[in-house]
Amino acid sequence: MVALRDLSAEQRRLLDEQTIELPSWAFGNSGTRFKVYGTPGTPRDPYEKIADAAQVHKYTGITPRVSLHIPWDLVDDYEDLQNYAKEQGVSIGTINSNVFQDDAYKFGSLTNSDESVRQKAVDAHRKCIDVMNKTGSSTLKIWLGDGTNYPGQDSMRRRQDTLARSLEEIYADLSDSQYLLLEYKFFEPAFYHTDVPDWGTALVQVQALGERAVVCLDTGHHAPNTNVEFIVMQLLRAGRLGAFDFNSRFYADDDLIVGLADPFQLFRIMHEIVSQGALDKDSGVNFMLDQCHNVEEKIPGEILSALTVQEMSAKALLVDHKLLRQKQAEHDVLGANQVLMDAFYTDVRPMLAQWREERGLNPDPMRAFQESGYLEKIAQERVGGTQASWGA
């Protein structure tokens, strides 16, 4: 077992400074093509999403920012929304564009051969930049559903070139302190080819743009059996790892709660992060969640996610790097591996409970939230209207 006092000053600083950004859409309903289940109390607008997100921060103390998704989170007055967020104890983070739900984008958005559609998709990003300017958000995150379902349906090469042109136009509209974050995904909703399917494609595209273009690694967006921490290492080596979208998967882009499918993988990812100095808040790597709570409660789901990322980060901080390097240099395969396993098997939960108590937080955030009556309260209050979901 390990206690806070066992940490070095540097370990403690990194633990204290780590933050995790929450996605507004995780608080709305989500599901599969087969069914979207609703729950009483689900937010009906961005204000209610932010209120729910603020609950996560209230109990965990490590989720001070909320990402918005445009147009899902369009409001009339962003100053008002920003003020509301501040009152709740959080702020607005990354702005996500959405060019996958308009009828116009059936055959592509930023890659469309139809210039009017392509322009519409570029303009949708300009609206996001407007929101960034109004909210002070520094990052525009772009994930595209673009791709094709059948061989021959379109020219993959033409689309890649068109994408490059579209991204250039968007990048040109960003200010010098704003970043473009490009996310790749192996497949879905396109089933033959996807225009940005892998880290190689994302890297080639952002390198062509400039220094403020970086890559977002969603942990569920890879081919089966892919070594994700290797990609973390590669993007860090290239200086282009901008952010994580954390979640879990057993099969495809399942968007389950982070760390519940393969916690050891999450630990290995955080070990790579810690090893390369990227846990430091100045590293430029943003730790975000991107999840769907199809069958479980949403706010507890996000609390559990934040706690799990923190736990695996704490375990990664416990790795004895000096001993690890020594064992590696000696080609002591099992010895080196056991340095990692020792840290992973160490139970950091008591230490993190202590960490919360020091900050005046309840040591057991899941229970504290459950007992707060918040879920019952919103179930009673949020009656009428349309529950937020991907469709709206």
Q: Segment 186-205, which members bind a second copy (CB under 8 A)?
A: 186-189, 191-194, 197-201, 203-204
Q: Pick from 252, 379, 383, 392 the residue near a second copy by CB under 8 A.
A: 252
Q: Pick from 4, 75, 353, 366 the residue near a second copy by CB under 8 A.
A: 366
Q: CB of 201: closest distance to a second copy in angstroms? A: 6
Rounded to an integer, what distance in angstroms lies between the CA atom of residue 52 and that of residue 303?
Answer: 11
Q: Residue 272 interacts with a second copy (CB under 8 A)?
A: yes
Q: Residue 386 interacts with a second copy (CB under 8 A)?
A: no
Q: Which of 382, 367, 304 is nearest to 62 (CA)?
A: 304
Structure tokens at 287: 């730790």
Q: Pick from 301, 317, 351, 375 the residue near a second copy by CB under 8 A.
A: 301
Q: Pick from 50, 121, 213, 256 the residue near a second copy by CB under 8 A.
A: 256
Q: Pick from 115, 116, 157, 322 the residue near a second copy by CB under 8 A.
A: 157
Q: CB of 8: closest distance to a second copy in angstroms? A: 20
Q: CB of 86: closest distance to a second copy in angstroms? A: 29
Q: CB of 381: closest distance to a second copy in angstroms? A: 21
Structure tokens at 95: 């702005």
Rounded to an integer, what distance in angstroms lies between the CA atom of residue 105 and that of residue 117?
Answer: 7
Q: CB of 230: closest distance to a second copy in angstroms? A: 5
- Piece in contact with a second copy (CB under 8 A), picked from 6-14, 79-87, 98-106, 134-142: 98-106
Q: Pick from 12, 31, 178, 353 the residue near a second copy by CB under 8 A.
A: 31
Q: Residue 225 interacts with a second copy (CB under 8 A)?
A: yes
Question: Segment 117-156, which members bind a second copy (CB under 8 A)?
Answer: 145, 148-156
Q: Which is nearer to a second copy, 321 or 377 (CB)?
A: 321
Q: CB of 366: closest distance to a second copy in angstroms? A: 7
